[in-house]
Amino acid sequence: MIVEVKSVSKTYDNGVEALRDVNLAFPQGQLTTLLGPSGCGKTTLLKIIAGLIPRNAGEVRVKGKVVDGPGPERAFVFQDFALLPWADVLRNVAFGLELRGVARPEREEVARRYIAEVGLGGFEHRYPAQLSGGMRQRVGLARALTVDADIILMDEPFSSVDEQTRRKFQEDLLDLLRHHRKTVIFVTHSIEEAAYLSDQIALLSPRPGTVSRMVKPDVDRRKTADEIRRDRGYLDTVDEIWHILRRYV
């Protein structure tokens, strides 16, 4: 277990109880989805794991060590991309390394490699405003990959990406992350997305968020994307999750 969340609770200053006694374990090299209705605290939980917001109780262990802030073994992909509008794709992707003080030629070489990997080769000198939502999120993903963190935390990365782009992006993402053997923690509110992408799915109940069920989709990952979408195990997983979640909506 590369990441462990133990009895984590969070109550915001305005009195809203977002999470209550959450326990979760994330196996190395797997993609775990945090799935639940809006307001169930899934983004809060992800940001607590990232060390971006403090928790009120419990602990988060990464590789066995308790963490209280961001660390080099975790990289975050933001829902709104969080790109610097005044910087081109190359500088944005290299920005994580720039903050770590890596020399310019070196960090740009690494950045170029990942820009090509996420399929943005040739767009190095475009600015975020000149890119579509899907391309911007690829920049965000490339930036997270450059710092070579073992754990990638993704906060609804496809929610501002249109449907057609999203499918292609999901397929590319799976290939890329499996290839690099990353551990991924992924927040989404889309059941299909969760069933398609995940090795395991943590279902969160609404406020205060707790883990109500763990689901392991029975999907053969060697199949192609189109086969998976017609796969019995995939469709059963979608059904099973829907039967649990419909109680909350």
Partner 1 sequence: MTASAGQRLWQLASFLLFFGLWELAGRWPLSAAFPPFSTTFLAFVEMLRDGSLGKAYLITAQPLGLGILLCALAGIGFGIGMGLSRPIEWLSLPIFIILQAAPMAAIIPLLTYMYGIGLTSKVLAVIMLAAPVIVMNSYKGIRNTPPSLLQMCRSFQGTRRQEVLKIVLPHAAALIFTGLRLGLAMGFIGIVIAELLITPTGIGDLITYHSSVADYPKMFAAIASIVAVAAISLHLLERLERRLFP
**Per CB under 8 A, 68 contacts partner 1:** no
Among 46-54, 109-117, 202-210, 232-240, which window interacts with partner 1 (CB under 8 A)?
A: 46-54
Q: State which residue, 76 or 169, has the beta carbon closest to partner 1.
A: 76
Asked if 145 interacts with partner 1 (CB under 8 A), we say: no
Tell me, letter by letter, the H, E, C secondary structure of the chain.
Answer: CCEEEEEEEEECCCCCEEEEEEEEEECCCCEEEEECCCCCCHHHHHHHHHCCCCCCEEEEEECCEECCCCCCCEEEECCCCCCCCCCCHHHHHHHHHHHCCCCHHHHHHHHHHHHHHCCCCCCCCCCHHHCCHHHHHHHHHHHHHHCCCCEEEEECCCCCCCHHHHHHHHHHHHHHHHHHCCEEEEEECCHHHHHHHCCEEEEECCCCECEEEEECCCCCCCCCHHHHHCCHHHHHHHHHHHHHHCCCC
Among 7, 57, 68, 80, binds partner 1 (CB under 8 A): 80
- The yes or no reply on residue 100 touching partner 1 (CB under 8 A) is yes
For partner 1, the binding residue among 41, 45, 76, 156 (CB under 8 A) is 76
Query: Which window, 20-28, 50-58, 131-139, 212-220, contacts partner 1 (CB under 8 A)?
Result: 50-58
**75 is a contact residue toward partner 1 (CB under 8 A):** yes
Residue 82 CB, nearest approach to partner 1 (Å): 4
Q: Which residues bind partner 1 (CB under 8 A)?
A: 47, 50-52, 69-72, 74-76, 78-80, 82, 84, 86, 95-96, 98-100, 147
